[in-house]
Amino acid sequence: MSEVRQGGRPRDEQVDRAIERAARELLAERGYAGFTVDGVAARAGVGKAAIYRRFPTKQELIYTVAIHGGSGEPPPDHGSLAEDLGAVCGTLATQLAAAPPGVYTGLLADLYGSSGLAARFSEVFLAQQRAVLEEVLNRAVARGELAQEPDPLVLHALVVGPLFVWLFVLGGPPEDVGKLVDTVVSGALAVLR
Amino acid sequence: MSEVRQGGRPRDEQVDRAIERAARELLAERGYAGFTVDGVAARAGVGKAAIYRRFPTKQELIYTVAIHGGSGEPPPDHGSLAEDLGAVCGTLATQLAAAPPGVYTGLLADLYGSSGLAARFSEVFLAQQRAVLEEVLNRAVARGELAQEPDPLVLHALVVGPLFVWLFVLGGPPEDVGKLVDTVVSGALAVLR
């Protein structure tokens, strides 16, 4: 028995990797709208059942391969709120800009249709971002840079909002997102202080 | 001939109104994901062809009945950039919050699939917002409040971004969007000055 199970694992992991690689490739080529489970199955050389056993919906598969929440760890302490916040926003901008075309807007639209996905998006992806912002605010309070900790949800909106709409709504040049990060941090600091 | 055409117009307008009313009702009840042209046709008592003659896609119909870009006019001159910007952001927040569930995120996801819709969203909806922001910035330059006019695209991202993600990504309480408007305006002013 033990041998069978040990023999099964590497094969399962191979299938895992083949599915995820095929999904990443298909997403990069076709974007969110052109992504299908059939296409992933054909490219990975597996049956659709093997995919649905691992990912109950197409959206769960896309989320897994395309949305990277980072380590979830706050940045090293740079000694100032301005630098900590700059590091956090720089990471956020990189994460958002790295997603294949249409992934964030597509997933966002499909969140309502899948309570599991909505929960994971909110409780993992967004909650991790918020925890990082809270840690950075706590450090600033401990340093005496801020008199009291502001609402992390407001800070979250102030920093992620402009980056999100720049990339996915307003059609801002992606190469200028770094300059926007500096502006966003300046505006947030002015409000926090 | 003239009588026939005059007789035809009120009937066409009746159909226009019936379709748009049915679409608004269906959207309010079912949200973006549950909205179908079949459903609108049944509720309006018209054939699907009558709808597709007016709106080439479901998304065009939703855009027409659910997205209100406001008058496109800048607010009255309040005599200060802070008050002008507060008025613009307040209107933006009201427009965004008034849309039925899933409309903005759904349309955004579907923009890639329809070049006509993408053009209208960008050239009408977003361009009108940007023109209003430019007018408000021009007034501030004329008053001597600003030394030079900043990039309106950056200001657009700074003001619409936090409102958008508050309502449609982060799950912020809609009743607190007014407080967020004040914060957004403070942050934007600090960056502009």
Cα distance from B147 to chain A (closest Cα, Å)? 18
Q: Does A161 contact B156 at a Cβ distance shorter than 8 Å?
A: no
User: Cα separation of A40 and A23, whole Å?
Assistant: 6
pLDDT at residue B124 is higher than 90: no
From A105, A157, A163, residue closest to B170, measured CB to CB: A157
Give the count of Cβ contacts less than 8 A between chain A and B. 120
Per-residue pLDDT at B125: 87
pLDDT at residue B21 is higher than 90: yes
Helix (H, G, I), strand (E, B) or coil at A26: helix
Q: What tens digit of pLDDT does each residue of B22-78 get? A: 999 999 998 898 899 999 999 999 999 999 999 988 999 998 898 876 667 889 999
Tell me, yes or no, if A108 comes closer than 8 A to chain B by beta carbon: yes
What backbone torsions phi and psi does residue B151 show, to the nearest 5 degrees? Answer: -65, 115
Residue of chain A minimizing CA distance to B187? A187
Q: Does B108 contact A169 at a Cβ distance shorter than 8 Å?
A: yes
From B31, B166, B187, residue closest to A188, measured CB to CB: B187
From A101, A113, A170, residue closest to B153, measured CB to CB: A170
From B109, B169, B186, residue closest to A164, measured CB to CB: B169
Q: Where are the domains of chain B?
A: 2-65, 69-192
Tell me, yes or no, if B36 comes closer than 8 A to chain A by beta carbon: no
- The residue behind tokens 């209208």 is B120
Cα distance from A158 to chain B (closest Cα, Å)? 5
Cα distance from A56 to chain B (closest Cα, Å)? 19
Q: Does B162 contact A157 at a Cβ distance shorter than 8 Å?
A: yes
Mean of pLDDT over chain B: 90
Cα distance from B109 to chain A (closest Cα, Å)? 5
Residue of chain B minimizing CA distance to A189? B187
Q: Which fold has domain B69-192?
A: Tetracycline Repressor; domain 2 (1.10.357)
Local confidence band at B5 (pLDDT 50, 70, 90 cut-offs): very low
Per-residue pLDDT at B1: 42
Per-residue pLDDT at B36: 96
Per-residue pLDDT at B69: 61
For residue A137, which amino acid is it?
A: L
Local confidence band at B2 (pLDDT 50, 70, 90 cut-offs): very low
CATH architecture group of domain A67-192: Orthogonal Bundle (1.10)
Window 149-168 of A: residues touching B by CB (8 A cutoff) are 153-154, 156-158, 160-166, 168
Q: Which fold has domain A2-65?
A: Arc Repressor Mutant, subunit A (1.10.10)
Per-residue pLDDT at B103: 92
Nearest to A43 by CA among A68, A57, A61, A60: A61
Per-residue pLDDT at A8: 55
What is the average pLDDT across B151-177? Answer: 95
Per-residue pLDDT at A47: 96
Local confidence band at B8 (pLDDT 50, 70, 90 cut-offs): low
Cα distance from B125 to chain A (closest Cα, Å)? 11
Tell me, yes or no, if B31 comes closer than 8 A to chain A by beta carbon: yes
User: Cα separation of A187 and B159, whole Å?
Assistant: 11
pLDDT less than 50: residues of chain A:
1-7
Q: Do domains B2-65 and B69-192 have the same CATH topology?
A: no
Q: What tens digit of pLDDT does each residue of B66-105 get? A: 887 666 788 999 999 999 999 999 999 999 998 888 899 9
